[in-house]
Amino acid sequence: MAPKGKAKATTKGVGKGIGKKGSSKKGPGGSRSDGVLARGLARVKTLTEQLFQKHKDEQPKTLQELGITNVLKEVVEMESASVSTVIERVFCGIVETILVGEGCQYSIPTRSSSNQHYVEDLDRIVLKDKVSKKEFSSSSTVRKVTITTRILQLVNELCNKAIHVTKRDLFYTDVKLFKQQNDSDDVLNDVACLIGCTRTSLNVVASEKGVVIGRVQFREAGDLIDCTRMGVGGKAIPPFTDRITDIKSDASFILLVEKDAAFMRLAEDRFYNKYPCIIITAKGQPDVATRMFLKKLRHTLRIPILGLVDSDPYGLKILSVYMSGSKSMSYDSANLTTPDIKWLGVRPSDLDKYNIPEQCRLPMTEYDIKTGKELLEEDFIRKSEIWVAELELMVKRKEKAEIQALSNFGFQYLTEEYLPRKLAEGDWV
Amino acid sequence: MAPKGKAKATTKGVGKGIGKKGSSKKGPGGSRSDGVLARGLARVKTLTEQLFQKHKDEQPKTLQELGITNVLKEVVEMESASVSTVIERVFCGIVETILVGEGCQYSIPTRSSSNQHYVEDLDRIVLKDKVSKKEFSSSSTVRKVTITTRILQLVNELCNKAIHVTKRDLFYTDVKLFKQQNDSDDVLNDVACLIGCTRTSLNVVASEKGVVIGRVQFREAGDLIDCTRMGVGGKAIPPFTDRITDIKSDASFILLVEKDAAFMRLAEDRFYNKYPCIIITAKGQPDVATRMFLKKLRHTLRIPILGLVDSDPYGLKILSVYMSGSKSMSYDSANLTTPDIKWLGVRPSDLDKYNIPEQCRLPMTEYDIKTGKELLEEDFIRKSEIWVAELELMVKRKEKAEIQALSNFGFQYLTEEYLPRKLAEGDWV
């Protein structure tokens, strides 16, 4: 159970990262390595300028400014007190309609795809203005109205107590009424649209699985979190980002990693000490909490995001979820999506460029190829010629490769050769 | 994107937990609540004394002390330098056998179930002394010998560099030789037995998924981690525990939680501020890293572990993995298992005791019932009459319930009523 003296000695004194840009502790051949570092940082700086120059006083454009009118006001993050106020207003409205003899009813925005609208300028999906009336007096909607009323009551309680629960907790508060979790989950999305706030503003959250490490500090529920001092395991991203405040960082970019094996390599090598960056992974398919956290970092820090994923259709799908979101939560796309993520690697063209040996490339299955071809039709691929070319190359060669295939050249090839070269060459698309 | 003022105010100033035992900030009716707290802490203290009185100068008993001789020396945690030394010694041995004309061969401990032995005094499985010779000159074992040699070489490199990689990384360093990951994984376990160290000591680790929060501080790769100041998301448990040193805590017990929804409730309510404890979850089936971390905490702090799992066969299975380990890694059971975990809840008898309504109880499927009956035959259940009685009740009633079923009585029922009552009554088995 004794600590490994050797391991400890090697890392001691590292991790006082913030403020100490580019200490050249690692990497063979200090001066060559420093040159690579300087070129990499210059490339990232240029990218940052490119990304943000067009909107210098960037306030994210509103739908009104874009002249789009037949669109429902998008949902926004709201404070608990405001959510409560809106709920009270909704109930007052219902009392009034009952008093004038129109009975108890809700006008709920339709979330079906016929009411979804892709706004190119914003690069995201929003809801159009169609609403449907749910009446207590109709036998087809009486149950929906009852569930909606109960959920509004429960959400009001959560907001007043300022606590968060999961969708599962919510379901269990009234199993007799909700019967199955799908029913309460579904109404929860309706309620978010009705109030005009994000689902997280309702204080109902999904579970967390993301981890962060690197050059960023913030307060989480009042606690000061310094992600340069999170050992090798990193900090678990909390299930609700509204408790995250006072974000500070001297990072030049965010490195978004598909898998935790790569995250571990980067964390253990303290890659962020040399290349000032923030490293995030959702360990596979991104969850809502990680997507919101990424969005919040990007919005606050205005630095580029570089994606490191497997060279297969699922790697691209993961990037797409971060970039365009999922259709079922399209009403909340503004708060969940981060459009301009750069695809750093591992790209199909890297396989030859970096001489990945045949035996580390895997043949794509029929299903992989089918998924790849379907992706070629998607908007988020088609808007970039290079992305199309890369994906076409993958489908043509019928070869895929994992990030870990780089281990073929040595365990630290990723952090000591591949990423430094990628950054120095500005090799992202 | 503004932080929720209300939520922030509620939690501000909390989280300076360590040293401030039992502040009664929460819970209605201060004095009643304080009485419950005092009774709960007294119960836990008694449990601690019971658990640890029999071995006051507890050095975990060795196999020699127990008089068990036909058993292979168990694997131990080793420093990287020691692992390297043993590898060099193994290679010197091979050079000698080649020189005397016996060729290149390894004597590898057999890991099959016929060579496994359950030691009741230690409550864990160890390997007996059967070894099998793998010869380079035999066509049936030449491949195994080659892979073993290559793995030994790679592990030596990892130990010298003091870095950690995943099993997947290791596989990709020589795909041509290993062909499929199963082959390199399998030899990795052989190599651990051959050297006599844990798999983690080989610097090859699995991925992490556990999270910890509460009254514990430690150093992780040199960084000071204070788990009372980890916001609401907690600290990700690192994939290797050998980097964790200087563990300090004023906790009275460890609360082991099956699901992250319950973890979130406990974290947000800062349950550990009032009840000095450490809260851990592996988010379902426990991974090696979380099991090692739990073992290390228990070994260092000598405090009881209370398990909070769903009232179904899988909740019990999860407890069993923490307690007895999995058979495939039985050679490493000493470093992965924590035998005497107390089953706090949710137990089948709780359903009536806490009046869980019918609609929050779920009917067990045929498969659930079958699994339950199989568990009744397992040693870790049979050694406690109360566990048997509880499981028999579950199978007889054919009812299961999740931890979240407690939300039926209010979102904070878990932290404000259920757990305080459980602790005050010493209601664990």
Tokens standing for B160?
A: 């010298």
Question: Å from A161 to nearest chain B CA?
Answer: 8
Which residues in chain A have Cβ-Cβ distances shorter than 8 Å to B297? none
The more confident residue out of A391 and B21 is A391
Out of B169, B221, B225, name the one closest to residue A411 (CB). B169
Out of A77, A268, A407, name the one closest to residue B172 (CB). A407
- CA A7/CA B343 separation, integer angstroms: 37
Q: Cβ A236–B240 below 8 Å, yes or no?
A: no
pTM of the model: 0.82
Entry field: residues in chain A: 429
- CA B216/CA A150 separation, integer angstroms: 40
- CA B334/CA B320 separation, integer angstroms: 14
Amino acid at position A131, single letter: V
Q: Cβ B8–A222 below 8 Å, yes or no?
A: yes
Does some domain include residue B92? yes
Q: State residue B65's pLDDT score.
A: 73
- Decide: A319 and A343 in contact? Cβ < 8 Å: yes
Bin B224: left if φ > 0, else alpha if -120 < ψ < 50, else beta: beta
> Is the domain of B39 the same as that of B111?
no
> Is the domain of A175 the same as that of A277?
no
Beta-sheet pairing, B105-109 with B131-135: antiparallel
Question: Å from B286 to nearest chain A CA?
Answer: 15
Domain end position, chosen among A160, A182, A205: A205
- CA B75/CA B198 separation, integer angstroms: 6
- CA A135/CA B140 separation, integer angstroms: 76
Question: Å from B176 to nearest chain A CA?
Answer: 6
Question: Å from B14 to nearest chain A CA?
Answer: 8
Which residues in chain A have Cβ-Cβ distances shorter than 8 Å to B220? 230-233
Does some domain include residue B354? yes
Out of B13, B163, B360, name the one closest to residue A411 (CB). B163
Q: State residue A19's pLDDT score.
A: 40
Which residues in chain B have Cβ-Cβ distances shorter than 8 Å to A283? 207, 209
User: In the predicted model, what is the mean pLDDT of chain A?
Assistant: 85
Q: Cβ A242–B3 below 8 Å, yes or no?
A: yes
Domain end position, chosen among B205, B239, B266: B205
> Is the domain of B37 the same as that of B133?
no
Return the SS3 of B235: strand
Closest CA to A171 of B347, B411, B99: B411
> Is the domain of B109 the same as that of B147?
yes
Share above pLDDT 90 across residues of chain A, in percent, rounded to a whole number: 52
Return the SS3 of A281: strand
Q: State residue B73's pLDDT score.
A: 61
Q: State residue B142's pLDDT score.
A: 94
Tokens standing for A117?
A: 């609208």
B46 CB-near residues (< 8 Å, 6+ apart)? B426
The more confident residue out of A249 and A74 is A249
CATH number at residue A228: 3.40.1360.10
Most confident listed range (A117-121, A373-377, B198-202) = A373-377
Question: Å from B248 to nearest chain A CA?
Answer: 15
Question: Å from B13 to nearest chain A CA?
Answer: 7
Its domain, for residue B131, covers 80-205
- Decide: B303 and B294 in contact? Cβ < 8 Å: no
Q: Cα separations (Å) of A321 from A330, A336, B166?
A: 11, 9, 26
- CA A153/CA A91 separation, integer angstroms: 10
> Is the domain of B212 the same as that of B162?
no
Which residues in chain A have Cβ-Cβ distances shorter than 8 Å to B406? 172
Q: Cβ A411–B221 below 8 Å, yes or no?
A: no
Q: Cβ A220–B230 below 8 Å, yes or no?
A: yes
Which residues in chain B have Cβ-Cβ distances shorter than 8 Å to A244? 3, 231
Strand residues in B136-251 grouped as ranges (E)? 165-166, 204-205, 211-214, 217-220, 223-226, 235-236, 244-248
Which residues in chain A have Cβ-Cβ distances shorter than 8 Å to B410? 173
User: Positive or negative CA dihedral for A61, A65, A70, A75?
Assistant: positive
> Is the domain of B257 the same as that of B382?
yes
> Is the domain of A239 the same as that of A188?
no
Amino acid at position B23, single letter: S
Which residues in chain A have Cβ-Cβ distances shorter than 8 Å to B205? 264
Out of A79, A236, A238, name the one closest to residue B5 (CB). A79
Q: State residue A124's pLDDT score.
A: 67
Domain end position, chosen among B205, B231, B249: B205
Which residues in chain B have Cβ-Cβ distances shorter than 8 Å to A234? 236
Q: How many domains does chain B have?
A: 2
Tokens standing for A348?
A: 């199909």
Q: Cβ A1–B168 below 8 Å, yes or no?
A: no
Q: State residue B308's pLDDT score.
A: 97
Catalytic residues of B: 172
- Decide: B200 and B240 in contact? Cβ < 8 Å: yes
Rounded to 10 degrees, the C-alpha dihedral A246/A248/A254/A258 comes to -50
Q: Cβ B169–A235 below 8 Å, yes or no?
A: no
Q: Which long-range contacts (CB under 8 A, 24 or more apart) does B66-73 make?
A: B66/B119, B66/B121, B66/B122, B68/B117, B68/B119, B70/B128, B70/B129, B71/B117, B71/B119, B71/B126, B71/B127, B71/B128, B71/B129, B72/B109, B72/B126, B72/B127, B72/B128, B72/B129, B72/B193, B72/B331, B73/B196
Does some domain include residue B64? no
CATH number at residue A119: 1.10.10.10
> Is the domain of B117 the same as that of B243?
no
Question: Å from A374 to nearest chain B CA?
Answer: 29
Question: Å from A124 to nearest chain B CA?
Answer: 18
Q: Cβ B15–A360 below 8 Å, yes or no?
A: no
Tokens standing for B323?
A: 């307690």
User: Positive or negative CA dihedral for B293, B299, B304, B307?
Assistant: positive
B123 CB-near residues (< 8 Å, 6+ apart)? B323, B324, B337, B339, B340
Q: Cβ B231–A237 below 8 Å, yes or no?
A: no
Active-site choice (A118, A172, A331, A418): A172
* Closest A-chain CA to B356: A172
Q: Is A60 a residue whose pLDDT tops 90?
A: no
Provide mean pLDDT across the span A21-27.
41
Q: State residue A228's pLDDT score.
A: 96
Q: State residue B10's pLDDT score.
A: 37
Amino acid at position B335, single letter: N
Which residues in chain B have Cβ-Cβ distances shorter than 8 Å to A237? 233
> Is the domain of A183 the same as that of A44?
no
Residues with pLDDT less than 70, chain B = 1-32, 54-64, 72-73, 123-124, 327-328
Q: Output b/e per residue, A268-279; b: 16+ Cβ within 10 A.
A: bbbbbbbbbbbb
What is the ipTM metric for this complex? 0.79
Q: State residue A285's pLDDT score.
A: 85
Q: State residue B355's pLDDT score.
A: 93
Q: State residue A16's pLDDT score.
A: 40
Q: Cβ A235–B240 below 8 Å, yes or no?
A: no
What DSSP character marks residue B229?
G
Q: Cα separations (Å) of A181 from A168, A171, A186, B312, B365?
A: 7, 6, 8, 19, 18
> Is the domain of A120 the same as that of A133?
yes
Probe site for chain B from A75, A166, A311 (most B CB atoms < 10 A): A166
Q: State residue A18's pLDDT score.
A: 41
User: Positive or negative CA dihedral for B134, B135, B136, B142?
Assistant: negative
Q: State residue B421's pLDDT score.
A: 95
Q: Cβ A7–B242 below 8 Å, yes or no?
A: yes
Out of A222, A359, A404, name the one closest to residue B12 (CB). A222
Which residues in chain A have Cβ-Cβ distances shorter than 8 Å to B79? 2, 4-6
User: pLDDT for A122-179, tens place per residue?
Assistant: 766 777 888 889 999 999 999 999 999 999 999 999 999 989 998 888 998 888 899 8
Closest CA to A277 of A23, A30, A21: A21
- CA B285/CA B64 separation, integer angstroms: 33
Distance of CA A390 to the CA centre of its chain: 23
> Is the domain of A51 the same as that of A200?
no
A187 CB-near residues (< 8 Å, 6+ apart)? A144, A147, A148, A151
Q: Cβ A2–B244 below 8 Å, yes or no?
A: no
Q: State residue B59's pLDDT score.
A: 53
Beta-sheet pairing, A305-308 with A342-345: parallel
Does some domain include residue A219? yes
Which residues in chain B have Cβ-Cβ distances shorter than 8 Å to A231? 219-223, 225, 238, 243-244
Probe site for chain B from A228, A244, A264 (most B CB atoms < 10 A): A264
Q: State residue B61's pLDDT score.
A: 64
Beta-sheet pairing, A211-214 with A277-281: antiparallel
Closest CA to A282 of B155, B236, B129: B236
A151 CB-near residues (< 8 Å, 6+ apart)? A170, A184, A187, A188, A191
Out of B14, B162, B406, name the one closest to residue A7 (CB). B162
Which residues in chain A have Cβ-Cβ distances shorter than 8 Å to B240? 232
Q: Cα separations (Å) of A253 from A261, A271, A412?
A: 20, 12, 21
- The region of weakest confidence among A207-211, A391-395, B186-190 is A207-211
Other beta carbons less than 10 A from residue B46's beta carbon: 12
Does some domain include residue A226? yes
Q: Cβ B222–A13 below 8 Å, yes or no?
A: yes
Q: Cβ A7–B170 below 8 Å, yes or no?
A: no
Probe site for chain B from A11, A85, A212, A232 (most B CB atoms < 10 A): A232
Provide mean pLDDT across the span A286-305.
92
* Closest B-chain CA to A405: B172
> Is the domain of A135 the same as that of A244?
no
Does some domain include residue B222? yes
Q: State residue A366's pLDDT score.
A: 92
Q: State residue A146's pLDDT score.
A: 95
Q: Cβ B6–A176 below 8 Å, yes or no?
A: no
Q: Terminus-to-terminus CA distance in chain A, angstroms?
A: 47
Does some domain include residue B74? no
Q: State residue A353's pLDDT score.
A: 95
Probe site for chain B from A175, A183, A197, A259 (most B CB atoms < 10 A): A175
Closest CA to A22 of A317, A356, A423: A423
Q: Cβ B233–A236 below 8 Å, yes or no?
A: yes
Does some domain include residue B239? yes
Question: Å from B364 to nearest chain A CA?
Answer: 16
